[in-house]
Amino acid sequence: MTVDHPFANYVRILGKGPKMWRHMTFDESRAAMGMVLDGTADPLQVGAYLLLLRRTGETGEELAGMVAAARDQFLENDISAPVDFDWPSYADRHRQQPWFILAAILLADQGYKILMHGIEGYTEGYAPTRPALAAFGVPQAASLSAAAGALADNNLVYLGLEHFCPSVQALFELRPLLGVRTAVNTFGRDLNPFGARYQLQGVFHPPYKPLHLETVQTLGQPNSYIFKGGGGEVQRNPMKPARVDALVNGKAKEQEWPAMTDQSVYKWREEDLDPLQLVKMWQGKLDLPVPELAIVGTLAFALKLADPGISIAGADDRAAEIWAARDKRRFS
């Protein structure tokens, strides 16, 4: 008698006929992803599971279960650090400069502790996050404990996913085999390794905003801004109004932020992708009004998330003041 593999039940839940399949509960999703991440599931089952999730469309409850399973797999589950902002960076193909890094540096200068984490990203013909951080000397930790230690002396620290949850990193590496992105590209942004009170999320596809909101609500995240970000990163597009799915002290509402400029055309994909361009921008050596507003606007999001009492206009004005007052010689 042939006995089904234990993971077959989760494939069955998603893969039954049109009228018989269903979404998984939080606990089922956590258990299924746990088996994927600890290697219990067969590779064939993993591929089927991920593609079925893509076809059925994940729910926030399912994604939250996956996040919980990933947290169970953290290499150091007992490490903590007093982090204010969680800043995920999981877009792998930057065809524009990661100007948001300058906003993160400015936010850190205001005294907030920030953990930025993510994947390496493609390099040839792209502008990944890590070389840009290196251009500013931002510490890049090799473990959760090292990140916690670095945060004692620095307000902005980066941690690569492969250093704290390599089993999730391995799922990102399946994309060339499967030919499409999977649920990991969605739930990876919600990992929040140190449980920061404030979380910023820039998503590439606006229809995913409510899904991310449902996920963070299920996880009990108290404060989060979720918006369409430039290149799928935490970066405001100043040329367009921004609709932010905001979670503030556990309460959700949509915020409407106005465009910051009347300019409607800027060719992001024609930028010089050398990381030193970011340093030149900090130094005031580049005249790029739209990217400059992207930096200011991204900072404004963070300022208002941390201080809900400030108005949208007030957050934009305060961010502009911080940018204007920066020490341009600091990274000479």
pLDDT single digits (tens) 202-232: 998 888 899 999 999 999 999 999 999 998 9
Mean pLDDT of the chain: 95
Same domain flag for 43 and 100? no
- Give domain status of residue 268, yes or no: yes
Same domain flag for 163 and 273? yes
Q: Is the pLDDT of residue 17 over 90?
A: no
Q: Which tokens is 133 given?
A: 């951080």
Same domain flag for 102 and 51? no
- Give domain status of residue 274, yes or no: yes
247 forms beta bridges with 224, 252
User: By percentage, how much of the chain surpasses pLDDT 70?
Assistant: 100
Same domain flag for 97 and 243? yes
The 3-state secondary structure of the chain reads CCCCCCCHHHHHHHHCCCCCCCCCCHHHHHHHHHHHHCCCCCHHHHHHHHHHHHHHCCCHHHHHHHHHHHHHCCCCCCCCCCCCEEEEECCCCCCCCCCHHHHHHHHHHCCCCEEEEECCCCCCCCCCHHHHHHHCCCCEECCHHHHHHHHCCCCEEEEEHHHHCHHHHHHHCCHHHHCCCCCHHHHHHHCCCCCCCEEEEEECCHHHHHHHHHHHHHHCCCEEEEEECHHHCCCCCCCCCEEEEEEECCEEEEEEECCCCCCCCCCHHHCCCCCHHHHHHHHCCCCCHHHHHHHHHHHHHHHHHHCCCCCHHHHHHHHHHHHHCCCCCCCC
Domain membership of residue 48 as a residue range: 8-57
pLDDT interval class at 113 (50, 70, 90): very high
Q: Which residues of 69-105 are buried (b: 16+ CB within 10 A; e: fewer)?
A: bbbebbeeeebebebbbbbbbbbbebbbbbbbbbbbb
Q: Is the pLDDT of residue 275 over 80?
A: yes
- Give domain status of residue 211, yes or no: yes
Same domain flag for 133 and 39? no
Same domain flag for 182 and 284? yes
Same domain flag for 161 and 310? yes
- Give domain status of residue 75, yes or no: no
Same domain flag for 111 and 44? no
Please say whether the beta carbons of 30 and 68 come within 8 A: yes
- Give domain status of residue 149, yes or no: yes
Rounded average pLDDT over 234-260: 97
Same domain flag for 134 and 267? yes
- Give domain status of residue 31, yes or no: yes
Rounded average pLDDT over 80-101: 93
Same domain flag for 152 and 245? yes
- Give domain status of residue 204, yes or no: yes
Same domain flag for 112 and 46? no
pLDDT interval class at 287 (50, 70, 90): very high
- Give domain status of residue 199, yes or no: yes
Beta-strand relationship, 114-118 and 156-160: parallel
Q: Is the pLDDT of residue 92 over 80?
A: no
CATH number reported for the structural domain that contains residue 290 in this entry: 3.40.1030.10
- What's the whole-model pTM score? 0.95
pLDDT tens per residue across span 297-326 = 999 999 999 999 999 999 999 999 999 999
Same domain flag for 52 and 147? no
pLDDT of residue 1: 58
- How many structural domains compose the chain? 2
CB-neighbour burial class of residue 257 (10 A; exposed 0-12, middle 13-18, buried 19+): buried
